[in-house]
Amino acid sequence: MTAAAVSGAKRSLRSELKQRLLTMSAEERLRQSRLVTQKVIAHSQYQKSKRISIFLSMQDEIETEEIIKDIFRQGKTCFIPRYQFQSSHMDMVRLASPEEISSLPRTSWNIPQPGEDEVREEALSTGGLDLIFMPGLGFDNHGNRLGRGKGYYDTYLKRCLQSQDGKPYTLALAFREQICPQVPVDENDVKVDEVLYEDSSAP
């Protein structure tokens, strides 16, 4: 497949998935989010990880609030994305508490994140990450992920490999509706280690 064909296939799959997510009811999103949260908390990789990065969920993503609360309950260190909108650069900065989220400024995507000028501990400068929870629009059962097209996570994972020993484990969180037979990928796309969704079998 040529680069243009891959990019076209990604575009059409993105719009199809966005439509599919729009038709989900709030109740169904919540039901699946609760199931996925239970899977996360029982997951051996989660249990043994000390330094974890997790996204603050948008409306069409698995709700991560309960996972974030559990990270703090378990005494793990929590990092959240701080996106730079003019580039594909993202840092993972430390979150002080789950309560802090409601007071963070919101971006143009309506996602809370610390201001760019605010000094915060960045995961890669203090020892790296054990586990990264990955958002995305679509996934297949081979670990291929369709992001929103900005490349933030792919770029960040490459930085992880350069600045820490060993790769962080990557766990994608998905609604059943986001699982595709095959996600189109190019050489810049980084696979995830595992996709957790309602019907995924435990490893």
Residue 15 in domain: no
Reported as a pLDDT band with limits 50, 70 and 90, residue 202 is low
Please give the Cα distance from 189 to 146 (Å, whole number).
8
Residue 59 in domain: yes
For residue 195, with 0-12 CB atoms within 10 Å meaning exposed, 13-18 middle and 19 or more buried, which class applies?
Answer: buried
Q: What is the pLDDT of residue 200?
A: 81
What tens digit of pLDDT does each residue of 65-75 get? Answer: 999 999 999 99
What tens digit of pLDDT does each residue of 21-56 get? Answer: 999 999 999 999 999 999 999 999 999 999 999 999
Q: Is the pTM of this model over 0.85?
A: yes
> 101: domain CATH number?
3.40.50.10420
Residue 86 in domain: yes
Q: What is the pLDDT of residue 198?
A: 94
136 marked ligand binding residue: no
Residue 203 has pLDDT above 80, yes or no: no
11 marked ligand binding residue: yes
**Which of helix, strand or coil describes residue 19?**
helix
Q: What is the pLDDT of residue 108?
A: 83
Residue 175: give the domain boundaries: 49-196
Residue 1 has pLDDT above 70, yes or no: yes
157 marked ligand binding residue: no
Residue 23 in domain: no
Residue 20 in domain: no
173 marked ligand binding residue: no
13 marked ligand binding residue: yes
35 marked ligand binding residue: no
61 marked ligand binding residue: yes
152 marked ligand binding residue: yes
Residue 6 in domain: no
147 marked ligand binding residue: yes
Q: What is the pLDDT of residue 110?
A: 85
Task: Please give the C-alpha separations between residue 107 and each of 85, 93, 95, 127, 134, in angstroms, as whole numbers.
Answer: 9, 15, 17, 27, 19
27 marked ligand binding residue: no
151 marked ligand binding residue: yes
Helix H segments across the chain?
3-22, 26-42, 44-48, 65-73, 152-163
Four-residue CA torsion sign, 134, 160, 202, 75: negative
Q: Please, what is the average pLDDT of the chain?
A: 94
What tens digit of pLDDT does each residue of 118-150 get? Answer: 999 999 999 999 999 999 999 999 999 999 988
34 marked ligand binding residue: no
Residue 112 in domain: yes
Residue 151 in domain: yes
Domain count for the chain, please give it.
Answer: 1
